[in-house]
Chains A and B, each alone.
Chain A
């Protein structure tokens, strides 16, 4: 059996974790190129939409929110990966989180950057998106602070600032270590980013205090961010949306999809960067158990929401409920339940079936399932308005599909770039402590 990573010699750890930073093979460049192609296709699709109008999407009255809003909620949800792992596990001092934190925090920052694009992409006049920002202007008017969309703006700005800082802080010591890298531009970059870190105890103390505070703050922010996103729906009076459970439901769903995204990313970097010694079965076992737990929590919330709607039997709510579970959207709904609950429950609940591969597979299923969940929240309500003369349907156009695909490709690109410039495992956090006082 391989030695525990903490017991490997320092030189080997350093070498393993810094090796991905030098050089890039052909598979790296091919993946980058493919991702870039999809991203460019998405950029073209968006420019097409800006040029010709929102009519190029599949949206129609009364389905005014479609793929873009689903994508928005989905990506903001994924951003909870970093928060859970870094903040909660840091606060509970779970040691197994150490090799995972930076990868998770990177997912958070990139998912937020991508998710934060969608409130702009979905606008009818996207070039005026900045009107939601309060600044003195010649329209003589401030934004409407009562609107959940303005709350969204503040929440996401706060979360992105916090996440970037939370990613950057533990990066500083690693930057100092890399400052003697062989490539000149890297040397310069690392030196600037290290802020002259020397490793003195004063600096370490300040860093640890800051990390501890940030962990608590970022947790509070993360809960609020997805609650506020949920309130974009829940604050309306649309049937199926006006539910008090949406706040906690979305947060639980976000953590759920975040863990799934994290497992997939971990499995990939383990394979590609040859980090088998550092990301072990132990880590995936724990993450799988977390995923399973969140799956059960998700099931609970889904049950609670739908059972109360069904039992209350209000006509307009039941129209939406029936559309979701019995008629038009039933295949998607039950597929979602299968992907989000049945697959993880079987593959991860049965100990013998719980491997890294099945964890990754379950996570992919969960991501699809969670995307479907957001779709099934947004669309069936809109296609079944209170006044039935407006009942309609929705199917996305190539523009929406391309832009959605481009965001996934964009995530891949950002991550590939990140992994090449910064060590994906925090070396200083990971190195074994020098023998301590008994």
Chain B
């Protein structure tokens, strides 16, 4: 049976520590924006933590929401790419093919979650970070759009390891970098096609919501939060 990868994030556990952001940077060879670029908003964070404030000091409440590509089943970014650089693979992932991207920016304009990031220049890393690049992940060139891939390299590696066994892929075998690094264990990744997997059970949870659900994009990231 085909896998259908999805994620569940428990917002009531999330502390906003941004360990997931750092882990994603390390795993996926994200470029580090120099200070002047960061000042103009050109940092690249495949996963970012949005903060929503309620109330006035001293009664402030903050909600932390890690937002990454939702891998929508009805992704608005997909039909508009003229070169099929972004398309849906048969495991439900919204795949970005860097080699096909011509840089029309159309996908990014159509993404309601603003989770797509562009390579404005060739990537660079402050010394010695360029020595810790992940060999499993491509380094993108200038002019190409990128976004969270649900650590597709880790999915592939786990599937290969399971095939070596041979043993079936177990729930929890695949852990994207963000899920792996979360100290509060707020993030769960798994196969939505498997009704017994943790992520499927969490998706059925009464606290499960989806971001911008009314748009009909059918995102596959479930945010668990106490209803107000």
Q: A61, B41: Cβ atoms under 8 Å? A: yes
- Given known pairs A55-B121, A61-B42, A389-B51, the reply for A124 and B103 (CB within 8 Å) is yes
> Chain A residue with minimal CB distance to B39?
A60
A55–B37 CB distance below 8 A: yes
What class of interface size applies to chain B in its complex with A? 35 or more
Given A55-B121, A131-B102, A146-B79, A125 contacting B215 (CB threshold 8 A):
no
User: Does A129 lie at the interface of the complex (its beta carbon under 8 Å from any beta carbon of B)?
Assistant: yes
Contacts of B114 in A (CB 8 A): 61-62, 385-387, 389-390
* Contacting pair B83 A65 (CB below 8 A): no
Cβ–Cβ contact A125 & B79, under 8 A:
no
Q: In whole angstroms, what is the CA distance A126 to B101 when docked?
A: 10
Question: Could you say which residues of chain A place their CB within 8 Å of the CB of B125?
Answer: none
Report the bound CA distance from A54 to B40 in whole Å: 13
The reply on A235 being an interface residue by CB < 8 A is yes
Chain B neighbourhood of A149, CB < 8 A: 80, 82, 104, 106
**Chain B nearest CB, measured from A423 CB (Å):** 41
A150 adjacent to chain B (CB < 8 Å) = yes
Contact present for A125 and B121 (CB under 8 Å): no
B102 touches A123 (CB 8 A): yes
A129 B108 Cβ-Cβ under 8 A: no
Cβ contact within 8 Å between A54 and B83 = no
Question: A64–B42 contact, CB under 8 A?
Answer: no
Partner of A62, one of B102, B108, B142: B108
Say whether, besides A61-B118, A144-B84, A147-B81, A123 and B108 are in contact (CB < 8 Å).
Answer: no
Q: Identify B118's interface contact among A54, A131, A232, A385, CB under 8 A.
A: A54
Q: Which residues of B contact A125 (CB under 8 A)?
A: 101-103, 141-144
A311 sits at the interface (CB 8 A): no
Report the bound CA distance from A64 to B145 in whole Å. 11
Do the beta carbons of B142 and A124 come within 8 Å of each other? yes
A387–B113 contact, CB under 8 A?
yes
Residues in B whose Cβ lies below 8 Å from that of A286: none
- Size range of the interface on A? 35 or more
Whether the pair A55, B109 counts as a contact (CB closer than 8 A) is no
The docked-state distance in angstroms from the alpha carbon of A390 to that of B48 is 10
Given A54-B143, A61-B41, also A124-B117 (CB < 8 A): no
A132 contacts chain B at the CB level, 8 A cutoff: yes
Give the docked Cα–Cα distance between A147 and B84 (Å). 9
Contact among A55, A61, A126, A139 with B108 in the assembled complex (CB-CB below 8 Å)? A61
Q: Which of B79, B84, B121 contacts A53 (CB 8 A)?
A: B121
Kindly identify which residue among B42, B48, B105 contacts A124, using a CB–CB cutoff of 8 Å: B105
User: Taking the nearest CB of chain B, how far is it from the CB of A134, in angstroms?
Assistant: 11
* Closest B residue to A131 using CB positions: B83
| Contact pattern, A 148-182, Cβ under 8 Å of B = 1, otherwise 0 | 11100000000000000000000000000000000
Residue of A nearest to B45 (CB): A61
Contact present for B118 and A124 (CB under 8 Å) = yes
> Which chain B residues lie closer than 8 Å to A59 at the CB level?
120
Q: Min CB distance, A129 to chain B, in Å?
A: 7
A401, chain B: closest CB distance, angstroms = 17
CB-based contact A141/B100 at 8 Å = yes
For chain B, what secondary structure do more than half of its interface residues adopt (helix, strand, loop), or is it mixed? loop
A386 vs B214: C-alpha distance when bound (angstroms): 12
Which residues of chain B are near A143, meaning CB under 8 Å?
Answer: 82-84
A236-B76 contact given A124-B118, A132-B102, CB 8 Å threshold: yes
Say whether, besides A54-B120, A237-B110, A387-B112, A147 and B80 are in contact (CB < 8 Å). Answer: yes
Complex interface: chain B residues within 8 A of A141 (CB)? 83-84, 100
Which residues of the other chain, B, contact A238 by a CB distance below 8 angstroms? Answer: 109-110, 112
A232 to B121, alpha carbons, bound, how many Å?
Answer: 26
- A53–B120 CB distance below 8 A: yes
Check A185 for interface membership: any CB of B closer than 8 A. no
> How far, in angstroms, from A54 to B82 measured CA to CA in the complex?
19
B15 to chain A, nearest CB (A): 18
Q: Is the CB of B80 within 8 A of A132?
A: no
A129 close to B142 (CB less than 8 A): no
Query: B122: CB under 8 A from chain A?
Result: yes
> Given known contacts A124-B142, A392-B41, is B109 in contact with A65 (CB within 8 Å)?
yes
CB distance from A148 to the nearest CB of B (A): 7
A55 to B120 alpha-carbon distance, docked (Å): 4
Shortest Cβ distance from B124 into chain A, in angstroms? Answer: 11
Given the known inter-chain contacts A131-B100, A149-B80, please indicate yes or no for A387 contacting B121, CB distance below 8 A: no
**In the complex, are the beta carbons of A53 and B104 less than 8 A apart?**
no
A55 to B41 Cα, complex, angstroms: 11
Considering the chains assembled together, what is the distance between the CA atoms of A325 and B145 in angstroms?
32
Q: Determine whether B21 belongs to the interface, using a CB cutoff of 8 Å to chain A.
A: no
B224 contacts across to A, CB distance below 8 A: none
Q: How far is the CA of A144 from the CA of B114 in the complex (A)?
A: 22
Q: How far is the CA of A60 from the CA of B114 in the complex (A)?
A: 12
- Is the C-beta of B212 less than 8 angstroms from some C-beta in chain A? yes
Given A54-B120, A147-B81, A389-B51, 8 other A-B residues pairs in contact with their CB atoms under 8 A:
A54-B143, A62-B114, A64-B105, A65-B109, A125-B143, A132-B82, A148-B80, A387-B50
The 6 residue pairs across chains A and B that have the minimum distance between CB atoms: A124-B103, A55-B120, A124-B143, A64-B105, A53-B142, A125-B143
Give 18 CB contacts A-B under 8 Å: A55-B121, A55-B142, A64-B105, A124-B101, A124-B144, A128-B102, A131-B83, A139-B100, A143-B84, A144-B82, A146-B80, A236-B76, A382-B109, A385-B114, A386-B114, A387-B50, A389-B50, A389-B114
